[in-house]
Amino acid sequence: MADLEADLVIALRRAMHYLTRDDLARICNADPVQICEAVSSLLERGYRIEEIPGEGYRLIDLPEIIDDVSIKTLLRAEFIGREILTFRSVTSTNDVAFALGRSGAINGTVVVADEQKRGRGRLGRSWHSPAGCGLWFSILLRPDLSLPDSSTISLASALAVAETLVEEFGIRAEIKWPNDVVVNGRKICGILTEAECVGERVEFVVVGIGINVLNTKDDFPPEITSATSVMIESGVRASRGRLLSRVLEKFEREYMRLCNDGFSSIRPRLIGITTVLGKMVRIRSGSKEIEGMALDIDHSGSLLVRTENGVTLRITVGEVVRVE
Ligand code: BT5
């Protein structure tokens, strides 16, 4: 049914004029009764479809809810989002994607939720994911990459989000290595990449992406002091479905480059949009804190930092806790 609904919405979006039930039945390879049922179901879910007796149907607008039909209608990707599962509320989309990964779900499966009850950040931290505000989603990937190379998938996703925000809304989004997207130092997007491995082999990777979209300043709890959203930065009430589609399309291109041509193929653009380079930073890496000048991102995605005593360190895992 969901596929028929998606085909029907695609047909109505493409049409320059009203389409009758028989037209739709022919285009969608269904019978007129099924078309009626699909239209009713879409109307119930918030699609605005106008019916003029004797003329047919016309699509006026997609719903603001995030649902699989509207995303499938908007998405122009090869394999990312071929399977999309949408939920009203979950603990964490990464948990759902992990369970799907273990039960054999296909490469590129996307899990989206309107709300996460236990959204996760890195190192046991939490991610604030209220209903109606953001894009909380996870992408299941089955890459043919080693575990160290898989860590560059996080960088590719940060690049996809940052560039989409710049292109779609003119927001000055930058990457805070390795995987925060910030605007003037305020976090607009966080990424949590987790992998399931058997020995050295990567079984699958789950890239969890949280983007604050419609949040106002009052939507953030007081303990989150340095957050922002698409709405705060651009004043635009963005459609979450459209933004998700653009991010997934861009992510697919970056991911394909990574798999086919290696990290070097995305490195120059990543460097161009990374905020910490050329600045004094403090980095927490495991139990250590390192201070120095952030010099470069090397060919494996690691951050090169020159410390006070002139030694250049290569940081593979860590987070920037201060930038000057
Ligand atoms: C992250 O962790 O930034 C990774 C966040 C990943 C979230 C996505 S949503 C979809 C998928 N499902 C999940 O359960 N997770 C992923 P980290 O670098 O550890 O940052 C966490 C810190 O960011 C918190 O301790 C807060 O200070 C802050 N924070 C929490 N929620 C925020 C929000 N909505 N916007 C900005 N900052 C936030």
For residues 184 and 182, give the distance between their C-alpha atoms in angstroms, rounded to a whole number.
6
Give CATH for domain 68-272. 3.30.930.10
**Predicted confidence band of residue 192 (pLDDT cuts 50, 70, 90):** very high
Closest atom of ligand 1 to 190 CA is 3
Q: What is the mean pLDDT of residues 151-156?
A: 93
If you take atom 26 of ligand 1, which residue's CA is the nearest one? 224
**Predicted confidence band of residue 70 (pLDDT cuts 50, 70, 90):** confident
Instruction: Output the CA angle 193-196-197, nearest 5 degrees.
Output: 125
pLDDT digits (tens, 9 = 90+) for 16-28: 789 999 999 999 9
If you take atom 16 of ligand 1, which residue's CA is the nearest one? 208
If you take atom 23 of ligand 1, which residue's CA is the nearest one? 127
Whether 208 is in the pocket of ligand 1, judged by its Cβ within 6 Å, is yes
Q: Is the pLDDT of residue 321 over 90?
A: no
- 288 near 295, Cβ under 8 Å? no
CB atoms within 10 A of CB 46: 13
Give Cβ neighbours of residue 11 (< 8 Å, ≥ 6 apart): 19, 24, 27, 28
Q: What is the mean pLDDT of residues 61-83?
A: 85
Greater pLDDT, 9 or 159? 159
If you take atom 33 of ligand 1, which residue's CA is the nearest one? 128
Closest atom of ligand 1 to 215 CA is 34
**Candidates 98, 115, 127: which one to mutate for ligand 1, based on the most atoms within 8 Å of Cβ?**
127
**Predicted confidence band of residue 46 (pLDDT cuts 50, 70, 90):** confident
**Predicted confidence band of residue 116 (pLDDT cuts 50, 70, 90):** very high
Greater pLDDT, 182 or 237? 182
Question: Considering the entire predicted model, what is its pTM?
Answer: 0.87
For residues 279 and 182, give the distance between their C-alpha atoms in angstroms, rounded to a whole number.
16
For residues 237 and 214, give the distance between their C-alpha atoms in angstroms, rounded to a whole number.
6
Strand bridging mode 84-90 / 180-183: unpaired
Residue environment code for 273-290, b if the CB has 16+ CB neighbours within 10 A, otherwise e: bbbbbeeebebbeeeeee
Per-residue pLDDT, 47? 83
Whether 138 is in the pocket of ligand 1, judged by its Cβ within 6 Å, is yes
Note if the bond before 178 is cis, omega within 30 degrees.
yes
Ordered by start, the domain boundaries in the chain are 2-61, 68-272, 280-322
The owner of tokens 């995030």 is: 66
H or E segment and range at residue 294? strand 288-297
For residues 318 and 283, give the distance between their C-alpha atoms in angstroms, rounded to a whole number.
6
Whether 210 is in the pocket of ligand 1, judged by its Cβ within 6 Å, is yes
If you take atom 34 of ligand 1, which residue's CA is the nearest one? 128
Pick the CATH number of 280-322 from 2.30.30.100, 1.10.1040.10, 3.30.420.40, 2.30.30.180: 2.30.30.100
Distance, CA 224 to ligand 1 centroid (Å)? Answer: 10
For residues 238 and 226, give the distance between their C-alpha atoms in angstroms, rounded to a whole number.
21
If you take atom 29 of ligand 1, which residue's CA is the nearest one? 127
Whether 229 is in the pocket of ligand 1, judged by its Cβ within 6 Å, is no
Whether 192 is in the pocket of ligand 1, judged by its Cβ within 6 Å, is yes
- 283 near 276, Cβ under 8 Å? no
**Predicted confidence band of residue 291 (pLDDT cuts 50, 70, 90):** very high
Residue 6 tokens, joined: 């998606």
**Residue 308: DSSP 8-state:** T
Q: How many CA atoms lie within 13 A of 12 on its CB side?
A: 28
Closest atom of ligand 1 to 129 CA is 34
Q: Residue 129, SS3?
A: coil
- 191 near 206, Cβ under 8 Å? no
Class of domain 2-61: mainly alpha
For residues 1 and 9, give the distance between their C-alpha atoms in angstroms, rounded to a whole number.
12
Q: What is the mean pLDDT of residues 82-98?
A: 93
Whether 94 is in the pocket of ligand 1, judged by its Cβ within 6 Å, is yes
Closest atom of ligand 1 to 94 CA is 12
Per-residue pLDDT, 6? 83
DSSP 189-251: EEEEEEEEEETTEEEEEEEEEEEE-S--GGGS-TT--SB--HHHHH-----HHHHHHHHHHHH
Per-residue pLDDT, 323? 74
**Predicted confidence band of residue 13 (pLDDT cuts 50, 70, 90):** confident
Distance, CA 12 to ligand 1 centroid (Å)? Answer: 38
Whether 224 is in the pocket of ligand 1, judged by its Cβ within 6 Å, is yes
pLDDT digits (tens, 9 = 90+) for 292-311: 999 999 999 999 999 999 99
Q: What is the mean pLDDT of the chain?
A: 92
Residue 109 tokens, joined: 């499966």
Nearest one of 103, 63, 64 to 83, comparing CA atoms: 103
Q: Is the pLDDT of residue 277 over 60?
A: yes
Whether 112 is in the pocket of ligand 1, judged by its Cβ within 6 Å, is no
Q: Is the pLDDT of residue 45 over 90?
A: no
Greater pLDDT, 287 or 187? 187
For residues 99 and 108, give the distance between their C-alpha atoms in angstroms, rounded to a whole number.
14
Closest atom of ligand 1 to 187 CA is 36
